Amino acid sequence: MSNHTRKLQAFRASLLHFHADPAVSDQAHAWHEDGLLVVDEAGRVQAAGDYAALAPSLAPDAAITDWRGKIITPGFIDTHLHFPQTDMIASPAPGLLPWLETYTFPTEAAFSDPLHARAGAEFFLDELLRNGTTTAVVYCTVHKESVDALFEASAARNLRMAGGKVLMDRHCPDFLRDTCDTGIRDSEELIQRWHNKGRAMYAITPRFAPTSSEAQLVAAGELARAYPDTFIQTHVAENSDEVSWVGELFPERRSYLQVYEHYGLMRPRALFGHCIWLDDADFALMADTGSAIAHCPTSNLFLGSGLFDMARADKAKAQVSLGTDVGAGTSFSMLQTMNEAYKVARLKGSYLPALRMFYLATLGAARSMQLEGTIGNFAVGAEADFIVLDPKATPLLARRTAHADTLEETLFALALLGDDRAVRATYAAGRLVHERAGESA
């Protein structure tokens, strides 16, 4: 798919991207009201800047796609979600356990069938692209077929995706259980088959500490050492009952998070979902090990798990990104995820500006994944994954943004009122992979 003969392309619109975290620098973002994004033949950023400055140097026959009136930003990066749970998003249940038993586990069981898994992966990726998400860190199921399905469908769209087979050898239904040996052997086979092949990246995926035996956690840590540029993804400190349970299972560890450190599962490229019930020592450990937090507000509100403390994470200089956590999360939209992250921050007594939220969903996530320079902004040479946002996508958005006085106001309205309807088009490595029906560019 990526071998098309292509030529230089240029896209004219307002451009927004980041060079730094707005929480630590007031020069963090670049904004070009009448901007131009130039993408080379290989699908990489050649230039991003003012139209007036860049247009004269373009070849006379260069194709310029006119998206004036819209905002081009880097594609969103969703650092935590479960692709097989797409089919059970928005399932009613009075608590985590009945939700898992009634919906999650039976839904995941169906992914042992490669055809079912492939069809699910196709829908899942198209849904991500409709929502402007061009990279995600994805939990598959315990079945290696589910990983093949995800990466085959992702390769067909030429997307930069991370994912992995769930490791789970205890405290789960028999039909979703692996063993220490098969789990690690399958993971290694999948790393060799997929990791760094095209744009695929493998994530070693213990579901969470209680569902892996000590032997499996030890082996997962060894795998993470043997393949140091793979990702690691798991859950930590999502709700208080789970934290107590981990305390009983691992009484010799100082904290839930420290269980992962003990088994060698904290390092750069390790991503931890939720992180609600961490203490200051845990946040410091997160920062010291170069690990990163995936904050999943729609999921935390849906399951009543608790409120993530962004200010505390910032104080410890821990890396933070945003995840939808579908299917406990209630939306694939990173805009809706920002909306709920904003409200969670308010409930914790802090404030999240829109610029910060757009940073977290783009360059902040790329940094959490150690992928700065590859994705997340329009640095020269970066892969040209980008989206076209329409501040007038709905009557209400149009009415609100018509009298927005600042960029912050426009972005805030997009975050609070926007969803997939605000994503006019999505490009992966310079190629159009989603376009919303409407007037043509």
Q: Which stretches of the chain bind Zn ion, using CB under 5 A?
A: 273, 325
User: Closer to Zn ion at the Cβ: 242 or 325?
Assistant: 325
User: Closer to Zn ion at the Cβ: 178 or 325?
Assistant: 325
Q: How far is the CB of 103 from Zn ion (least distance, A)?
A: 14
Is 306:300 a contact under the CB 8 Å cutoff?
A: yes
Closest alpha carbon to 212 in 182, 186, 180, 184 = 180
Q: What are residue 76's DSSP bridge partners?
A: 133
Q: What is the DSSP letter of 386?
A: E
404, two tokens: 């927005």
Q: Residue 440 to residues 36, 68, 396, 424, 425: CA-CA distances in angstroms? A: 18, 12, 21, 10, 10
Closest alpha carbon to 372 in 74, 43, 162, 38 = 74
Helical (H) or strand (E) element with 106: helix 105-109
Q: How far is the CB of 111 from Zn ion (least distance, A)?
A: 16
User: Closer to Zn ion at the Cβ: 325 or 340?
Assistant: 325
- 327 prior amide bond cis, ω within 30: yes
Residue nearest to Zn ion (CB): 325
Q: Which 3 state secondary structure label does DSSP give 163?
A: strand
User: Closer to Zn ion at the Cβ: 131 or 300?
Assistant: 300
Q: How far is the CB of 235 from Zn ion (least distance, A)?
A: 6
Pairing, β 292-295 against β 319-322: parallel
344, two tokens: 């969670």
User: Closer to Zn ion at the Cβ: 72 or 270?
Assistant: 270
Q: How far is the CB of 414 from Zn ion (least distance, A)?
A: 26
Q: How far is the first Cα of the chain from the last one, in angstroms, to the nearest whole number?
A: 24
Closest alpha carbon to 429 in 67, 22, 134, 180 = 134
Q: How far is the CB of 164 from Zn ion (least distance, A)?
A: 13
User: Closer to Zn ion at the Cβ: 37 or 334?
Assistant: 334
Q: How far is the CB of 300 from Zn ion (least distance, A)?
A: 10
Q: How far is the CB of 305 from Zn ion (least distance, A)?
A: 10
Give the span between the Cα atoms of 248 and 297, in whole angstroms.
Answer: 27
Give the span between the Cα atoms of 35 and 16, in whole angstroms.
Answer: 9
User: Closer to Zn ion at the Cβ: 271 or 354?
Assistant: 271
Q: How far is the CB of 238 from Zn ion (least distance, A)?
A: 8
Give the span between the Cα atoms of 118 and 279, in whole angstroms.
Answer: 40
Give the span between the Cα atoms of 32 and 49, in whole angstroms.
Answer: 6
302, two tokens: 């849906």
User: Closer to Zn ion at the Cβ: 78 or 145?
Assistant: 78
Q: Which 3 state secondary structure label does DSSP give 294?
A: strand
Give the span between the Cα atoms of 393 and 249, in whole angstroms.
Answer: 50
User: Closer to Zn ion at the Cβ: 67 or 272?
Assistant: 272
Q: How far is the CB of 78 from Zn ion (least distance, A)?
A: 11
User: Closer to Zn ion at the Cβ: 236 or 417?
Assistant: 236
Q: How far is the CB of 392 from Zn ion (least distance, A)?
A: 34
